[in-house]
Chain A
Amino acid sequence: MEENKQASKYMNPYLAGFLLGLVLLASFYFTGRGLGASGAVKSVVVTTVGTVAPEFASSTLFFESGASEGESPLKSWLVFEVLGVLLGGLISGAFAGRLKLKVEHSPKISSKTRLIAAVLGGILFGIGSQFGRGCTSGAALSGMAVLSTAGFISMLAIFGTAFLFAYFMRKLWI
C-alpha cells in the first residue's frame, strides 16, 4: 500500500493530461503556437555565444539567426514561458511539500553516476532537439495537437528509441 499512498499524492494522470491539454489549447488560441522548452535554452546559448564571441556568432548562421534582430535573443516567447514553468513548478511543489534539494536516483547507482547520466542525457537531448526542431513538448506534443506529421515522427522516434535502449539502461532506473 506504500506506493499507492505515495502515488496518490500526485494528481490523477488523466486529469493532469486534460488540464495540460487545456493549457496547450489556450496557448494555441491566444498566441497561435504551442508550448516548448528547449528553444529557451537555445536562446540562452545564442546570447552567451553572442556575448562571449560576437565575431564568431555573426559568422555562423546558427548563432546569427538569433542575433540579427537587434534585440536580445533572450526576449523571446519561449524564455518567458520557461520562466513561467520554473515559477509554476515551484509554486506547485511548495503547496505539495515537495521542495527539497536532492539527487533522485535508483538505489543501485550512486548520485555521481546519476549526475553523469543526467549530463549525458541533457547533451543528447540538446543535440537531438536541434535536429528535431523542438523537444518533447515543442515538437512532439504541440506537433501532435496540430496533427503535424513532424510531431508524430518525433513522438514515435523519441519513445521508440527510448524503448529500444531501455533494456541496456535498466540499471539506471530499476
Chain B
Amino acid sequence: MGPLVTQDIIGGNWNFVLAFILGLFFGGVLEQAGFSSSRKLAGVFYGYDFVVLRVFFTAAITAMVGLLFFHYFEWIDLSLVYVNPTFWPSALTGGAIMGLGFIVGGFCPGTSVCAASIGKIDAMVFLVGIFIGISLFGFTYDWWVDFVFAGDLGRIKVYDSLGMRQGSFAFMLIAVALIAFYATRWIEKRVKKVEY
C-alpha cells in the first residue's frame, strides 16, 4: 500500500532517483503540451489559447480521481500523503502576487524550467528572477513571519471548508471542468487568433 517511500518500502536514496524519474516525465509532458512557450501560456488570459486551463484542470482531476479510487481500494494511505496546510491570508496573498508574476513574466516556475531546457532565454531570465524573489523574501523574512503563519486552518480539505461530502465535491469539480472545457472551445473559436 502506498505511498511507498514514507513507509520505507522504498529506501532513502531511491527517493531521489524516483524524484528524478518523475521529473523527467513531468518535464517531458510539459514540453509536449507546449508549456515551454510563454505566449501560449498567456493565451488563457486573452482567450486565444486555453491550453493552460485544459492541461491543468485535466491533470488535477485525473490525479484527484485516481487518488480517491486508490484510497477507496486501499492502495494508498491518504493520511501519509502530504496535504499542504492552509494559512489562508498568506495563501491568498501569495497567490495574488504569483498571479501578477504570471501575467508579467509569462511563466510559472515549473514551466520556466521546462522552457529554459529547450533554450528559451526569457525563461532562464525568469528563473533568475525567482532566485532574486526568494532571496528578497528570505532577507526580509522577519517582517513576514507572523503574517505567513497567521490564519492557520491546518491541513484542511476543501470539501470540509465548503461543508460538502468528498464525493459530491469531486463530482462537482469534474462537472465544472467539463463545462469550462466546452465553454473555452466556444470562446476560442470567437477570439481573434494570435500568431506565436
A and B touch in the complex (CB under 8 A): yes
Question: Using a CB–CB distance below 8 Å, which chain A residues touch chain B?
Answer: 2-3, 7, 10-11, 13-14, 16-38, 41-42, 44-46, 48-49, 60-63, 75, 77-78, 80-94, 96, 98-106, 114-115, 117-166, 169-170, 172-174
- Which B residues are in CB contact (< 8 Å) with A128? 93-101, 133
| Residue ID in chain A nearest B96 by CB atoms | A161
- Which residues of chain A come closer than 8 Å to B161, judged between CB atoms? 149
Chain B residues whose C-beta falls within 8 Å of the C-beta of A94 in the assembled complex = 118
Contact of A17 among B33, B43, B119, B129 (CB under 8 A): B33
Q: How far apart are B105's CB and chain A's nearest CB, in angstroms? A: 2
Residues B105 and A118 in contact, CB atoms below 8 Å apart = yes
List, in ascending order, chain A residues with CB within 8 A of B131's CB: 41, 44-45, 122, 126
For B108, the chain A residues whose CB sits under 8 A away are 37, 125, 135-137, 158
A105 to B126, CA, bound (A): 13
User: With A and B bound together, what is the CA distance between A115 and B122 in angstroms?
Assistant: 6
Interface membership of B26, Cβ < 8 A: yes
Q: Is the CB of B135 within 8 A of A45?
A: yes
Q: In the assembled complex, how far is the CB of residue A16 from the closest CB belonging to chain B, in whole angstroms?
A: 4
| Contacting pair B134 A85 (CB below 8 A) | no
Least Cβ–Cβ distance between B103 and chain A, in angstroms:
4
Q: Given A89-B31, A133-B90, decide whether A166 and B45 contact each other with a Cβ distance below 8 A.
A: yes
Please name all residues of chain A whose beta carbon is closer than 8 Å to the beta carbon of B78 when the two chains form the complex.
146
Task: Find the residue from B33, B51, B81, B91 having the highest chain A CB count within 10 A.
Answer: B91
With both beta carbons as reference points, the residue of chain A lying nearest to B102 in the complex is identified as A162
Asked if A148 and B84 make an inter-chain contact with CB atoms under 8 angstroms apart, the answer reads yes
Known contacts A29-B76, A142-B82, A160-B99, then 5 further A-B pairs from the complex at CB < 8 Å, ordered by chain A residue: A14-B55, A84-B23, A135-B98, A153-B86, A154-B91
Known: A35-B26, A38-B109, A60-B141. A22 touches B114 (CB 8 A): no
Q: Is A150 within 8 A of B91, CB to CB?
A: yes
**Would you call B110 and A157 a contact (CB within 8 A)?**
no
A18 CB contacts on chain B under 8 angstroms: 58-59, 62
Q: What would be 15 A-B contacts, judged by CB atoms less than 8 Å apart?
A: A22-B66, A83-B23, A89-B116, A103-B121, A121-B106, A125-B101, A128-B101, A129-B133, A132-B98, A133-B91, A136-B56, A150-B84, A155-B95, A172-B42, A173-B43
Q: Quick check: A84 and B24 within 8 Å, CB to CB? A: yes
Q: Tell me whether B20 and A81 are in contact (CB under 8 A).
A: yes
Contact across chains for B93 and A131 when beta carbons are under 8 A apart: yes
Asked if A10 and B101 make an inter-chain contact with CB atoms under 8 angstroms apart, the answer reads no
How near does chain A come to B193, taking the closest CB pair, in angstroms? 5
Specify which chain B residues have a CB less than 8 angstroms from the CB of A35 in the assembled complex: 22-23, 26, 110
Complex: how many Å from CA A128 to CA B104?
A: 13
Q: Does B175 contact A (CB under 8 A)?
A: no
B132 interface hit (Cβ, 8 Å) = yes
User: Which of B92, B98, B161 has its CB near the most chain A CB atoms (within 10 A)?
Assistant: B98
B1-23 vs A, Cβ < 8 Å mask (1 yes, 0 no): 01111100010000111111111
Chain A proximity of B153: nearest CB distance (Å): 7
Does A121 lie within 8 Å of B84, measured CB to CB? no
State whether A16 touches B66 (Cβ < 8 A).
no
